[in-house]
Amino acid sequence: MIDLLNTPSDVAAFRTDLLAWYRVNKRSLEWRDSDNPYHVWISEIMLQQTRVDQMDAYFTRFIARFPALADLAVAQESDVLKVWEGLGYYARARNMHKAARLMVAQHKGRIPDSYEELIALPGIGTYTAAAVSSIAFDRDHAVLDGNVVRVLCRLLRIEEDPRRAATKTQLISASQRLLPLGQAGDFNQGMMELGARVCTPQKPDCQTCPVGDLCRAKAELDDPTLLPLKAPKKQKPHYLVAAGLIWKRDQVLIAQRPRDGMLGGLWEFPGGKREEGESLQECLRREIGEELDFEIEVGEVLCSVDHAYTHFSITLYALSARYKEGEPKAIGCADWRWVYPEELDDFAFPRSDRKVIEFVRQRGWQLALF
């Protein structure tokens, strides 16, 4: 790697140009306009797997419900998951809740201001610790997220896989070397803003880039989007899932997913993956027997929902069903309840189940009765 930023004057120019651009062009965001470390922490947890334009309304709703660290710490996990509903990656919410309680118990009810204390908390890794310590407290730690990786790979023409440990070490070193001491918060946000708005994955705006004169990809490559190197996409497995709207008189059954697994703590219409050779009706009967140990009668498919997760995708088929005999037992789930349809909004559901609820609600619950 030949580094264009190999003189103190180049580094100084990069810092000056980036900071000047950021301070004029930064987006006005609720958490950015606040000097509250709690707001910074919440926003960074939300941004771990969510784009800025998607999380704005969620952040406002979350802060309205839990305006301070103490409010979050004393809340029930079910309330936290309900407010988080729709953001996905629910382990973030569970870990955030655990971290809030630890901050109250071990840090006198405050957000720790050091990288070392932050990274010891649940749900906080190297990126989040660096982001919170620098943005909220101006500690001199450089961040390395997807936007920053893209900027650095193009700026320095790094042609190795950024997921490799050696390349990641190289990127961290470069980012830390560029960091202006005492201005880490603005610099880190400037790097992330540059990647989000100018040095974008596709169609980067190289002509208006404030640091374009120092960028090797702009100077040497016909197509800067070749960097960073992208791993070949693996085909995701796809599963067919049967879920039952199981009625007992005028109540429907919901089950809570195990708290230590995927979508832990959320509620759903019980069911599971269809096995080879099974009909959807056979699948649902088997899953209810395995997970709840009672018998049902199964009707027709009410609707289907396609949903993609990080490593796989599903088509969820919602079927009407009716309680037959036996007492449900929480064998493959954390809990279960019979609820009236109007009570469903009190519970946090995965997005696919929420779509089923909206579908049936729009057409009338009589459609789902069996």
What positions carry a catalytic annotation? 44
Classify residue 257 by its DSSP letter: P
The crossing angle, in degrees rounded to 10, of helices 165-178 and 8-25 is 80
Rounded Cα–Cα distance for residues 110 and 132 (Å):
13
* Cβ 81 vs Cβ 267: under 8 Å: no
Q: Is 35 helix (H, G, I), strand (E, B) or coil?
A: coil
Lookup result for tokens 């930064």: 26
Which residues have C-beta within 8 Å of that of residue 279, sequence separation ≥ 6?
A: none
**DSSP H helical segments within 205-273, as ranges?**
216-220
Which residues have C-beta within 8 Å of that of residue 227, sequence separation ≥ 6?
A: 150, 153, 154, 157, 158, 159, 217, 221
60 Cα distance to chain centroid: 16
Rg for the chain, CA atoms, rounded: 25
Rounded Cα–Cα distance for residues 209 and 149 (Å):
16
Largest CA distance in the chain: 79
| DSSP3 helix / strand / coil % (the chain, rounded to 5) | 50, 15, 40
Question: Residue 88 carries which side chain, given as an amino acid letter?
Answer: G
Question: Residue 112 carries which side chain, given as an amino acid letter?
Answer: P
Question: Residue 326 carries which side chain, given as an amino acid letter?
Answer: G
Bond into 328 cis (ω within 30): no
